Amino acid sequence: MKTTDSFRINTLKVVHEVIDGETIILNLDSGNYYSLVETGAKIWDLLATMNSVDNIVKELCFYYEGSGNEIDNEVNSFISALITEGLLVSRKQTGTELLHDAGSVNQPDKITAKIEFKPPALNKYSDMQDLLLLDPIHEVDVIGWPTIKPIS
């Protein structure tokens, strides 16, 4: 993965919500759901606002203790896992615009202490896969849901 590569959340197939600092992600196609905490949740949040892997790494290096190479390797591995699960897509493939100018990193004026960098973890769960795939919301058409089909 190149540092200039940029990605976005696959909003056509993925929904997500933050609850008490934990990011919960649901893949509507597979029925799998995921949990991100700490560094993983921070990276997911940055993916929604940053334009490149390089800028995400720079942002994390500003807030976390750890070598730039370690953070870069972990971010790249984590993003690869998100792509494999269908949670992210390349901005090049979708033609979407970048959200920030190249090199833009949000750095506050002052940081009191850096936090220890912990490798991000993508916790995957499939225990409710059958139920999530049976959800009738997947059967919505242009009329909406629910609709009563006429008797023929």
Tokens matching residue 134 = 């049976």
Q: For residue 73, tell me if it sits in a domain.
A: yes
Domain of residue 63: give its range. 7-103+112-139
Q: For residue 119, tell me if it sits in a domain.
A: yes
Q: For residue 127, tell me if it sits in a domain.
A: yes
- How far is Cα 39 from Cα 25, in angstroms, rounded to an integer? 15
Q: For residue 79, tell me if it sits in a domain.
A: yes
Q: How many domains does the chain have?
A: 1
Q: For residue 122, tell me if it sits in a domain.
A: yes
- Tens digits of pLDDT across the chain (152 residues): 665 678 899 988 999 999 999 999 999 889 999 999 999 999 999 998 876 899 999 999 999 999 999 999 999 999 999 999 999 998 764 444 444 434 455 555 555 689 999 999 999 999 988 887 775 555 555 655 555 556 65
pTM, full prediction: 0.75
CA dihedral 53, 106, 101, 4 (to 10 degrees): -10
